[in-house]
Amino acid sequence: MGKRETFSPFDAAEYLKTDEDMALYLDAMIEESNGDSRMIAVALGDIARARGMTQIAKETGLARENLYKALSAEGNPEFSTVMKVITALGIKLHAATATPSKPRRASRKKAVGELATA
């Protein structure tokens, strides 16, 4: 019988070394999540652990233990918690359309102007 290999569990936090790594990881997880908020919470937890959960807890004013729980696969953090963590991590969120937009007939400014004069 050959030598038995042992494997340790994969921990994304070990590979998140730079701010860019962290932002790209979160962006990829948002893209791949298909709306599964748990994936995004877990990604934020990985990033917070890479940065230092104690520091993130201090900056957000939230208890470290509560952050570990909220940012786990079983967690369900409130949106305010997510935003506090994102801010503490120094990450910015950006919005983009999910599908290419169709040409508009009238500009929004023109439409607002028409409503104001009606």
3.20.20, 3.40.710, 1.10.10, 1.10.260: CATH of 12-94 = 1.10.260
What's the confidence (pLDDT) of residue 108?
63
d(CA 10, CA 7): 9
Specify the pTM.
0.76
What's the confidence (pLDDT) of residue 116?
65
Give the torsion through C-alpha atoms of 75, 49, 14, 83, to 10 deg: 70
pLDDT of the chain along its 118 residues, tens only?
Answer: 567 888 888 889 999 999 999 999 999 999 999 989 999 999 999 999 999 999 999 999 999 999 999 999 999 999 999 999 999 999 998 888 878 777 666 566 666 666 666 6
d(CA 25, CA 33): 12
What's the confidence (pLDDT) of residue 56?
97
Domain boundaries, the chain: 12-94
